[in-house]
Amino acid sequence: MEPASPFARYQQLQSYVGWTDEDARRVQSLEPLVRPHFAALIDDFYAEIERHPDARRVITGGEEQISRLKQTLHAWLAELFSGRYDRQYVERRWRVGLRHVEIGLDQVYTNAALSRLRSGLLTVIEESRPELCIETLVVRRSLNILMDLDLALIEDAYQTEYRRRQRAADRLAAIGEMAGGIAHELRKPLND
Ligand code: HEM
């Protein structure tokens, strides 16, 4: 059986957690409130990476790469609040997991970084809407679900790519073993 496409998997997960168009509208309504804080949240994201050598070591391109990464994270945040969670959205998110395998990032740091980003966003919302009304709680819940879905997507891509690479390495090892066996047979004298 063909594995489901990333978008089909995402839709399954949306249905699992009960995501609706209303949730999408609620998250989108936060956009003007959170956007002015993106730059500070992004600076905090990378400052924290600097404090963790196992996370920091995958950034090999110095300041130039960090400034590129800051732009990609800005785009990622802007899309999170766009209210459009279509196939293109999922494909771009999927690439994050693939890239993280390529660079050898321990997946645990993605979880930690997303948790930190989530706290930062929720603090911004709390500070600008101190009244704890149902509306604020409901909008926070929608953002939490969306961020959980994003993490699931990145993890899904990461695991899929990780397993694919593992299988390719196993196949290569098996071919190597077989080639070694054949070479050994060829070297044996005929009357052996
Ligand atoms: C909330 C968690 C994270 C998000 C949303 C995120 C997002 C992204 C995005 C959007 C890309 C670009 C993907 C593409 O090429 O299309 C990327 C690549 C990358 N990420 Fe992450 N990331 C996260 C966590 C981390 C952490 C903790 C590190 C630790 C150093 C990290 C290091 C990198 C690096 C080195 C690349 C490759 C960048 C390049 O192409 O130069 N990421 N990530």
Which atom of ligand 1 is the closest one to the Cα of 59? 35
Residue 41 Cβ < 6 Å to ligand 1: no
What's the CA-to-centroid distance between 94 and ligand 1, angstroms? 11
Query: Quick one: pLDDT at residue 67?
Result: 96
Written as six digits, the tokens of 6 are 């990333």
pLDDT tens string 120-174? 999 999 898 777 677 888 999 999 999 999 999 999 999 999 999 999 888 988 8
Which residue's C-alpha comes closest to atom 33 of ligand 1? 100
pLDDT tens string 169-191? 889 888 888 888 888 888 877 65
What is the reported pTM? Answer: 0.87
Which atom of ligand 1 is the closest one to the Cα of 60? 35
Neighbours of 29 (CB within 10 A): 14
d(CA 130, CA 149): 26
> Domains of the chain, with CATH numbers?
6-165 (1.10.490.10)
Q: Closest by alpha carbon to 148, among 111, 187, 177?
A: 111
